[in-house]
Amino acid sequence: MLFLFVLAFSACKKKDPHAEETVVFKPEPISPEDTINYPNALITTLNRKNKWVDSVFRRMTPDERITQLMMIEVFSNQGPEHEEDVKLLIRRYKVGGLIFFQGGPIRQARMTNRLQAVSKIPLWIGMDAENGIGMRMDSAMQYPLPMLLGAINNDSLIYQMGAEMAFEFKRLGMHLNFAPVVDVNNNPKNPIISYRAFGENKDDVSSKSLAQMLGMQDNGIIATAKHFPGHGDTEVDSHYDLPVIPYGRNRLDSLELHPFRHLIQSGVGGIMVGHIHLPKLDSTANLPATLSKPIVTGILKNELRYAGLIFTDAMVMKGVTKYFEPGEAEVMALEAGNDVLERLVNVPKALNAIKAAIRQGRLSQKEIDRRCKKVLAAKYWVGLNKYKPIELDSLYRDLHAPHAHEMLRRLSEGSLTLLQNKRKMIPLEKKKRRKVASLAVGGNKTTFFQKQIKTQLATQDFFLPRKSTKKEQEKLRKELLKYDLLLISIYGPSIRPSNNLGFTPEERALVNELIRKKRSVVVLFDNAYTLNRFEDIHQATALLVGYQQLPAVQAAAARMLMGEIQPQGKLPVTVNANFKYGDGL
């Protein structure tokens, strides 16, 4: 976390009642030639001599230069005690930045202002917001996740989404997004990447992640490509254990590294290294790539000649902590070549271990200083040399602008993927004597899709909730078999896509039976891979994939079924022999 930096101009502003008294840091004036305004100048800025950086650096102690490389987690929904703990780390240890997680926009903005007010140097603030700030906080726009974007044939829409995300970040006083995900998800059993990836095709992943990256960086927010050297072909979640990838350089060069190369050549500001073990690249037992010098320095820095910011994945994850102690892990991460340590288990323990490593010659203060200046240069690029508190007036309204909703509508409509349309069932015709049932699988009350379709088609709503009884299932079965046409919409257990939908074998069997016996239009509002959960889904009369249950997607699906819009999406992954990459009518 970075402290304070309420500059001299703050004397002209109204005093923030939440601000704490602190010594004001006054850097040397900046000359015009120090300012870089052209797009994608971040890499240049990180490696150029800078008067503001030098003036700030000269006033830092050796310990502060170490802690400038640390970013700690913060929650705006955990109350005053948590905030005081964060302030303590800022005041005592002068950490460099914050990573915000759950909370709300107004609460986060107020908390950010209070935390910046106690920091000696302005804090840079990041968030894991792969699909916008709504991924982490309530009362905010939630944009589509990468799998849905992977189905879109218009990458300019993805660029616009990146630009909207950048606007929201800047409005909330944030500077760094740990996105895009550039993993090529070529393993359907991957429990952690899956729908977080743009797809299984390396060229699609490259072009779409580039569009998102440029949308953010063209508008002043640092993008971070992750998870180097590629987390797409794992069956273990690195939050809970250390995944092992058995492949060597030939495979990585032909697949996983392709998007990273593409974004490096295009000036991506940051790259996050994943907690994945690649024994053919570094045979050290149980060593995640994050702590591997042959991978971070050897491949990323020396071979790929990457000169941007290198971040560790969260140091609290089991992919690191299962085999390496806090403190030693951070030392090894710096030895490997990382610039920034993210989400540390214990800041004082890490600081003491790094200082000891410098005394022992494992690390050099000179190298720490170089990375510290690199972080300060990034802060300069995002405008923290002219730090201002967040304006709270109209914040909620600004984060829900009409143009953002319009962009979300276009993304949703452009992604819908029609996989089957037997007998030209779509668009649906309004037939007076046809009885139509609308079944929400996974719902227990009328869904947004059901409401939208009912405005144009006479339907009767039914529900198959999770954990339904056999008696309830049999009653529903008998009732639905009376209808001429079934609209079956399938939902996962939460707003985020899932990997298995959470239905019992009996519930899935009922859906399969209905699909076999009746004319049916099936719409999946979840992870495309979950098509595999219904073995007879390929027998549906029509099948539409919406990828997520966002209201905008449900509204778009209803419009498509009624013929108001045409299908445009293509399946970004291979699901099975019936539904392959690139399919879409």
Left if phi > 0, otherwise alpha if psi is -120 to 50, otherwise beta: which for 305?
left
Strand order from edge to edge, sheet including 417-421:
417-421, 542-545, 519-525, 485-491, 436-441, 459-464
d(CA 84, CA 82): 5
Would the pLDDT of 6 be above 50? Answer: no
**495-521: average pLDDT:** 95
Question: CB atoms < 10 A from the CB of 580, how many?
Answer: 13
Supply the pTM of this predicted model: 0.90
Query: Using one digit for the tens of pLDDT, what is the confidence trace for 394-413?
Result: 999 999 999 999 999 999 99
Our CA dihedral for 389, 390, 391, 392, rounded to 10 degrees, sits at -130
List Cα–Cα distances, 439 to 498, 512, 518, 520, in angstroms. 20, 13, 13, 10
Q: Could you say which DSSP state residue 198 is in?
A: S
CA atoms of 63 and 102, how far apart (whole Å): 30
Q: What tens digit of pLDDT does each residue of 14-27 get?
A: 333 333 333 333 33
Distance CA 317, CA 343 (A): 9
Token pair 């060597």 in the structure block, residue: 248
pLDDT tens-digit readout, 442-489? 999 999 999 999 999 999 999 999 999 999 999 999 999 999 999 999
Q: What share of the chain has pLDDT > 90, as a percent?
A: 86
- Of the pLDDT bands very low, low, confident and very high (cuts 50, 70, 90), residue 40 is low
Mean pLDDT confidence for 139-155: 95
Quick one: pLDDT at residue 15?
38
Mean pLDDT value across residues 201-206: 97
